[in-house]
Structure 1
Amino acid sequence: MADTENKTKKGDKDDKEVDDRTLRQKIMSEVKFFAGLAVFLLVFWTTIFGHYKIPSESMQPTLEVGDHLYVSKFAYGYSRHSLPLGLHKLPFLPERGKIFSRLPKRGDVVVFRNPITKIVMIKRAVGLPGDKVAVKAGRLYVNGEMVEREIIDQLKYREHKKNKKSKKVPDINDVTVYEEQFEGEKKPHIIYEEYDNPGYGVANSYDETTVPPDTIFFMGDNRDNSRDSRFLAHESLKSDSGPGFVPLDHLIGRADLIMFSFKRCKKEPGLYCPKRRYLSPIR
């Protein structure tokens, strides 16, 4: 009788141990599944879409410092520069080339990697391969035609404080606000212009240049405060940090949406301070 009871207890204990092992196996299986799914979704999401934060004022007023953007990486195809998490640095990846390559449209706001400094930048596509681009007294010309624009406002804003430790108060910029529209662009976009005189250097006086094959000419919307394709495209400016003509395989994606903005300028009398933006389409 005692032996029977012992055997029953031992059997119950064995069954409990089996149940515990089965439960642990099920839990581990679930954990592995969800961990694998999370990794897959992370890689998928960062490969198809991108999230970027605006650090400078070169694309004002379209994009403000602190804006967080949704970027469509499949808009122009894929190259090593489309890869997330620094994977573009892997040595075995081809340096040049792109699959499913498509051209931007004039007026697209594009994220790309500066071919000289390797820094990720964002600007507006102005010239496509074969286009002739020039800037005369601050006015943009594409293929010999002056790009249409209309003055809509004049305002002042305080520059973003780049160095938080600095005690220097950032300068105030006085700008003219224009609506500008490229041929074929559905809606105009907004730009800032601080100076229109030719004496302000290459930003306002850029000799007509033909955009080479498989490259794009970019400009910032804050025209006199942007390091873009106007810089480095001239032989005398090779030491500058501008991207010059940007190869198509250095394009990362099209900026489609401002998801949210954390940075907030301080309101001051007489100075423009934009509102926070949430889920705002970019144009």
Structure 2
Amino acid sequence: MARTEADGKRKDTSEGSIYETIKVIVQALLIALVVRTLLFQPFNIPSGSLIPTLLIGDYLFVSKYAYGYSKHSIPFSPPLFNGRIFASPPKRGDIAVFKLPKDNSTDYIKRVIGLPGDRIQVREGLLYINDKPVKRERIQDYQTNDSWGRQVQVPQYMETLPNGVSHVVIERDGDKGYWDNTYVYQVPANHYFMMGDNRDNSTDSRDEASVGYVPFENFVGRAEIVFFSIDENASAWKVWEWPWTVRWDRIFTRVK
């Protein structure tokens, strides 16, 4: 059967349409990769270590440019270079995502408490930085869950760090928790000391076997804004339940 000119035009048009579709998809993927690597990366909060600042079920954007870039800024942390480029050191009080030093792959999120050279200690629940107690003011109790999942009222404090950054912390076990009395930690050069705001329910730099001091190279970015939040026992994909399960008051709130 002879192939007509119309048949050839239809085939060319079809091939051109497929090519254009593939090109658009590739371009979109490249743009998404650039944005994720250089600008913002989304994360969700799976644990309660930063309660009441961040809740289980919060989804937030982390700025990748805040501290400059290391190999951990790139997906899968390829060993393309060492150290950081365009580096800007974290500030005390920042909430930052970092790669767990133990495996250099697991994402952790905590608050920056100790800077390089600092002496950090906790005595009877009170934080000391360079041998000076950090200002802590008792405020209204906070309702959370204990180790057995029961709702309890726990002490809540407004803590003010030496640089003037204030944030809220809770003491689920009062001032007698496992990590409420520590020895003095001397933060090494180019490392940081990280802690959760839920002081009795946070695996952080106080636990040197699990986290310890965090190298600057391991920082991924700074938490900036909560863009979505849903009850911890709900499923984000069940959109028909959103009117009741989404925490509308937390959406587009700054992380402080």
TM-score, normalised on structure 1?
A: 0.77
Match of 1:140 in 2: 127
- 1:158 matched to 2:153: no
Q: Any residues of structure 2 matched to 1:120-199 within 5 Å, and which? A: 120-159=107-146, 170-186=149-165, 188-197=166-175
Aligned pairs (5 A) from 1:50-89 = 50-84=41-75, 87-88=76-77
Q: What is the CA distance between 1:156 and its match in structure 2? A: 3.2
Q: Which residue of 2 aligns with 1:280?
A: 253
Deviations 1:94-130 (A, max 9, x none): 5x42222221110000001111144211100001111
Query: Are the aligned partners of 2:146 and 2:172 in contact in 1 as well (CA < 8 Å)?
Result: no
Structure index of larger Rg: 1
Structure 1 stretches of at least 4 aligned residues deviating more than 3 Å after TM superposition: 171-174
Determine whether 1:205 maps to 2:181. yes
* Unpaired segments ≥5 residues, structure 2: 235-245
CA distance in 2 between partners of 1:16 and 1:185 (Å): 75
- For the residue of structure 1 that corresponds to 2:217, the secondary structure is helix
> How many angstroms does 1:265 deviate by?
6.0
Deviations 1:140-159 (A, max 9, x none): 11122221121111133225
Q: Residue in 2 aligned with 1:253?
A: 221
Which has the higher mean CA deviation after the structures are superposed, 250-259 or 136-145? Answer: 136-145
Could you tell me how far apart the structure 2 residues matched to 1:58 and 1:114 are?
A: 15
Give the conservation status (yes or no) of the 8 Å contact 2:155–2:174: no
Asked if structure 1 preserves the Cα contact closer than 8 Å seen for 2:137 and 2:157, the reply is: yes
Change (3 A) 1:230 1:173: farther
Deviation at 1:137, TM superposition (A): 1.2
Match of 1:30 among 20, 40, 62: 20
The Cα RMSD (Å) is 2.4
Aligned equivalents of 2:145 and 2:24: distance in 1? 48
Count residues with an aligned counterpart: 241
Tell me by how many angstroms 1:184 deviates: 2.5
Structure 1 unaligned regions, length at least 5: 1-9, 161-168, 233-237, 267-273
Q: 1:275 to 1:23 in 2, by over 3 A?
A: closer
1:165 matched residue in structure 2: none
* Equivalent runs, 1:109-128 vs 2, <5 Å: 109-117=95-103, 118-128=105-115
Q: Which amino acid aligns with 1:113?
A: K
Task: Give the alignment's TM-score, normalised by structure 2.
Answer: 0.85
- 2:95 and 2:112 in contact (8 A); partners too: yes
Give, in whole Å, the separation in 2 of the partners of 1:228 and 1:30.
49
Q: Which amino acid aligns with 1:73?
A: K
In structure 2, what is the Cα distance between the partners aligned to 1:143 and 1:196? 23
Please give the secondary structure, in 1, of the residue aligned with 2:182.
Answer: strand
Aligned to 2:196: 220
Percent of aligned positions that are identical: 34
